A and B are shown apart, each in its own frame.
Chain A
Amino acid sequence: MSDQMIVSTRKGLFTAKRNGKGWALTDDVAFLGDNVTVTLHDKRSGYTYAALDHGHFGVKLHRNKGQGWEEIAAPAYPEKPEDVVSTDGWGKELPWATALIWALEPGGADQPGLLWCGTIPGGLFKSEDHGETWELNRPLWDHPSRKRWFGGGRDLPGIHSICVDPRDSNMVRLGVSCGGVWQTNDGGKSWDCRAMGMRAEFMPPEQAGDQEIQDPHFLVQCKSDPDRLWVQHHNGIFQSRDGSASWSEVTDVNPSSFGFGVAVHPDEPDTAWFVPGIKDELRIPKDGELVVTRTRDGGKTFDILRKGLPQSHAYDVVLRHALAIDETGDQLAFGSTTGSLYVTEDQGDSWQEMSHSLPPVYAVRFM
């Protein structure tokens, strides 16, 4: 069971630890004052990575193996040929420059040193040397459909979810806002869109089923049953039982099926958690009551979990990387845009508040 987590916020990277009395934030704070967008703790190597967005000064990547943080190369796009017109799906200019590091995941157990990195404006990068150097995945970047992607919540499109299949490290699935779910079976040499069954209300009705413009907010995969995947989508909750070949919508979810994050139990593919907001145009908890929803039967029914969570005047929004689950599936934690941080040790039946005054939380990771 994990006893440490790292919390990325608008103003620094915080650490919480579990002791005899439960979980508590520690004095270990890195990058205080700086915008930490996402982190990765790579158990294979012991390295922890932190992506920073310095605003004026651009996106940076830092690495730590217990002896302090060092800046390493951030994924960088190649020089754009002058004759290439680079636009997004709306026809807006799309710069060949990293605007945000939005996903960092390790490769498979048989790929030591290999990391995947998803960025805005839509490039996927791979490192084979623990982040020393990065290379843009050209087959996806040059895919004609990639140029159809457009921003969802951000000005430009981006890759926010990366799932490396536990059965085969060359099988990698991506969640793209807005661009659907993409899959490679050959380590990134070729890619296919795999969002059949998803539904985009933000498009004209005849285009609602267009796979390549779907907005999956977050994609997760069950470790022990990798054909089972869950997506918190802009327009609801979707699940796949066939390795993302097709998706079915989960309906009748109270209080809402809108949200950003989703967590799936590592050993129980029918068990998943969400933190709902009212709807896309009203991104706050229903009735000011912060709740977590949990299904244990593959989306047929949901528990509404509220013990330990504020039940009046709560306006927390939990972003896509800010809901985390540990390796046992018993502990979950989430942070919110209003600076709250909660943890559960009983799969969400009860929650402990660690803070209500952090900077806006962007990502939570168990170590």
Chain B
Amino acid sequence: MAKVTFTANLMRHVDCPSVDAPGATVRDVLKAVFLENPRLKSYVVDEQFSLRRHMGIIVDGEIVLDRKALSDPVESHSEVFVLQALSGG
């Protein structure tokens, strides 16, 4: 199970504590997370399950590059951070 942690700034809008979730890719892991927390989904990905434009994901220190299909691999003990790609004001 990967450990998934969300930016604290999301907590203002939707409850999203760190969770353990199964899956071999970022997409699979997020799907497992959203199954338990459906409201969180639209805050992280769009209708096509692509990462929102100003969000970023880091898996074990590596920035996720496939933002569209979220196919980057996740290991069973990976740490996944879902973050804001800082922008706006």
Q: Is A96 interfacial (CB-CB < 8 Å)?
A: yes
Q: Is B1 interfacial (CB-CB < 8 Å)?
A: no
| Contact yes or no, A54 B47, CB < 8 A | no
Kindly list chain B residues whose C-beta atoms are within 8 Å of the C-beta of A80: 48
Q: Is A144 interfacial (CB-CB < 8 Å)?
A: no
| Contact yes or no, B88 A58, CB < 8 A | no
- Apart from A56-B87, A58-B46, A71-B39, list 17 A-B contacts with CB within 8 A: A54-B43, A56-B9, A56-B52, A56-B85, A56-B88, A57-B13, A57-B43, A57-B44, A57-B52, A58-B42, A58-B43, A60-B13, A60-B42, A78-B47, A97-B47, A97-B50, A98-B46
State how many angstroms separate the Cβ of A83 from the closest Cβ of chain B: 14
Residue of A nearest to B85 (CB): A56
**15 contacts across the A-B interface (CB closer than 8 A):** A55-B54, A55-B88, A56-B9, A56-B84, A57-B44, A58-B46, A58-B52, A60-B13, A74-B42, A77-B48, A78-B47, A79-B47, A80-B48, A97-B50, A98-B46
| Contact yes or no, B48 A54, CB < 8 A | no
Q: Which residues 69-120 of A sit at the B interface, judged by CB distance below 8 A?
A: 71, 74, 76-80, 95-98
State how many angstroms separate the Cβ of A317 from the closest Cβ of chain B: 19
Q: Produce 1/0 per residue, A287-329, CB < 8 A to B.
A: 0000000000000000000000000000000000000000000
| Contact yes or no, B47 A76, CB < 8 A | yes
| Contact yes or no, B52 A95, CB < 8 A | no
Bound together, the chains give a CA A98 to CA B46 distance in angstroms of: 8
Kindly list chain A residues whose C-beta atoms are within 8 Å of the C-beta of B87: 55-56
| Contact yes or no, A96 B43, CB < 8 A | no
Which of A54, A56, A96 counts the most chain B CB atoms within 10 A? A56
Kindly list chain A residues whose C-beta atoms are within 8 Å of the C-beta of B85: 56
State how many angstroms separate the Cβ of A305 from the closest Cβ of chain B: 34
A-contacting residues of B (Cβ < 8 Å)? Answer: 9-10, 13, 39, 42-44, 46-48, 50, 52, 54-55, 84-85, 87-88
Bound together, the chains give a CA A78 to CA B47 distance in angstroms of: 7
| Contact yes or no, B48 A95, CB < 8 A | yes
Bound together, the chains give a CA A96 to CA B68 distance in angstroms of: 13
The A interface, classified by DSSP as helix, strand, loop or mixed, is loop
Bound together, the chains give a CA A76 to CA B39 distance in angstroms of: 13
Kindly list chain B residues whose C-beta atoms are within 8 Å of the C-beta of A57: 10, 13, 43-44, 52, 55
State how many angstroms separate the Cβ of A361 from the closest Cβ of chain B: 17
Kindly list chain B residues whose C-beta atoms are within 8 Å of the C-beta of A71: 39
Which of B10, B46, B54, B84 counts the most chain A CB atoms within 10 A? B46
Kindly list chain A residues whose C-beta atoms are within 8 Å of the C-beta of B47: 76-79, 96-98
Bound together, the chains give a CA A74 to CA B46 distance in angstroms of: 11
Bound together, the chains give a CA A200 to CA B71 distance in angstroms of: 44
Q: Kindly list the 5 A-B residue pairs having the minimum CB-CB distance in the complex, ordered from nearest.
A: A97-B46, A57-B43, A56-B54, A77-B47, A97-B47
Kindly list chain B residues whose C-beta atoms are within 8 Å of the C-beta of A58: 42-43, 46, 52
Kindly list chain B residues whose C-beta atoms are within 8 Å of the C-beta of A55: 54, 87-88
State how many angstroms separate the Cβ of B87 from the closest Cβ of chain A: 8
Kindly list chain A residues whose C-beta atoms are within 8 Å of the C-beta of B42: 58, 60, 74, 76
Bound together, the chains give a CA A79 to CA B87 distance in angstroms of: 27
| Given A56-B52, A56-B54, A58-B52: A95 touches B46 (CB 8 Å cut-off) | yes
Residue of B nearest to A59 (CB): B42
Kindly list chain A residues whose C-beta atoms are within 8 Å of the C-beta of B10: 57
Bound together, the chains give a CA A55 to CA B46 distance in angstroms of: 12
State how many angstroms separate the Cβ of A183 from the closest Cβ of chain B: 27
Q: Produce 1/0 per residue, A40-76, CB < 8 A to B.
A: 0000000000000011111010000000000100101
| Contact yes or no, A56 B55, CB < 8 A | yes
Kindly list chain B residues whose C-beta atoms are within 8 Å of the C-beta of A74: 42
Bound together, the chains give a CA A79 to CA B69 distance in angstroms of: 13
